[in-house]
Amino acid sequence: MDFSQIIPSLPSLWDGMKLTLQLLALAVLGGIVLGTVLALARMSSNTVLSGLAKAYVNYFRSIPLLLVITWFYLAVPMILNWITGEFIAVGAFTSCLVAFVMFEAAYYCEIVRAGIQSISKGQLNAAYALGMNYGQAMRLIMLPQAFRKMTPLLLQQSIILFQDTSLVYAVGLIDFLNAARARGDIMGQSHEFLIFAGAVYFVISFGASTVVKRLQKRLAV
């Protein structure tokens, strides 16, 4: 084992990590927003709306993330082409981001739904009794309480998402893992670079889940 080339390679590995973190941040943000919309739709009294949201969630929860990434990589440019009639190069980053947002939204949706359902119905009634409409009751009363409760779960799901971003390897995007793989091959130290990448993922995930566990304990009190 010879880890000597890792230090000189840190700049290019950091470029990969920047892409990983960018993708993660945007996917978490988009996933939670879309997930919340889906959760509200699922709990809606409109059966068509709730049925559609349920189908969406069940659909994405029964297929592999890797399938979604691969499919969107091939399909998103074509769909855009149909819509706009011209050829637009979307690039792997955008298609991956769309895949992550749509896929993770199904998982965030279930967390948000459970969070909202854990707030007593009395709170909603109290908000209505004060004259709020549905939007106000959700935005001002229910969601703030629900998000506080489900923060640990949302973070936990985001740690899983952080690990899953490595699947963009499938479409050749140079994220942290792929940067380590490519660099390791060039340097002739592919084992060492892979082990180093694994160690970095471990330290970040483990550190983050330790923080989340502490947060969970504090919120539980």
Partner 1 sequence: MNYNWDWNIFFKSTGIGSEIYLDWFISGLGWTIAVALVAWIAALAIGSVLGVMRTLPGKVLPAIATAYVELFRNVPLLVQLFMWYFVVPDYLPEATQIWFKQELNPATSAYISVVVCLALFTAARVCEQVRTGIQALPRGQSAAALAVGFSIGQTYRYVLLPQAFRVIIPPLTSEFLNIFKNSSVASLIGLMELLAQTKQTAEFSANIFEAFTLATVIYFVLNMSLMTLMNLIEKKVRIPGMMGGAK
Which residues bind to partner 1, rule: CB under 8 A? 59, 62-67, 70-71, 74-75, 78, 81-82, 87, 163-164, 166-167, 169-170, 177, 181, 190-191, 194-195, 197-198, 201-202, 205-206, 209
Q: How far is the CB of 137 from partner 1 (least distance, A)?
A: 32
Cα–Cα distance list, 129 to 134, 137, 139 (Å):
11, 10, 16
Tell me the C-alpha distance between 19 and 31, whole Å.
17
Q: Which is nearer to partner 1, 14 or 206 (CB)?
A: 206
Q: How far is the CB of 166 from partner 1 (least distance, A)?
A: 4
Q: How far is the CB of 192 from partner 1 (least distance, A)?
A: 9
77, 94 Cβ separation under 8 angstroms: no
Q: How far is the CB of 162 from partner 1 (least distance, A)?
A: 8
Q: Which is nearer to partner 1, 83 or 129 (CB)?
A: 83
Tell me the C-alpha distance between 37 and 31, whole Å.
10
Q: Which is nearer to partner 1, 9 or 20 (CB)?
A: 20
Q: How far is the CB of 74 from partner 1 (least distance, A)?
A: 5
Q: Which is nearer to partner 1, 11 or 85 (CB)?
A: 85
Q: Which is nearer to partner 1, 111 or 177 (CB)?
A: 177
Q: Which is nearer to partner 1, 37 or 195 (CB)?
A: 195
Q: How far is the CB of 37 from partner 1 (least distance, A)?
A: 23
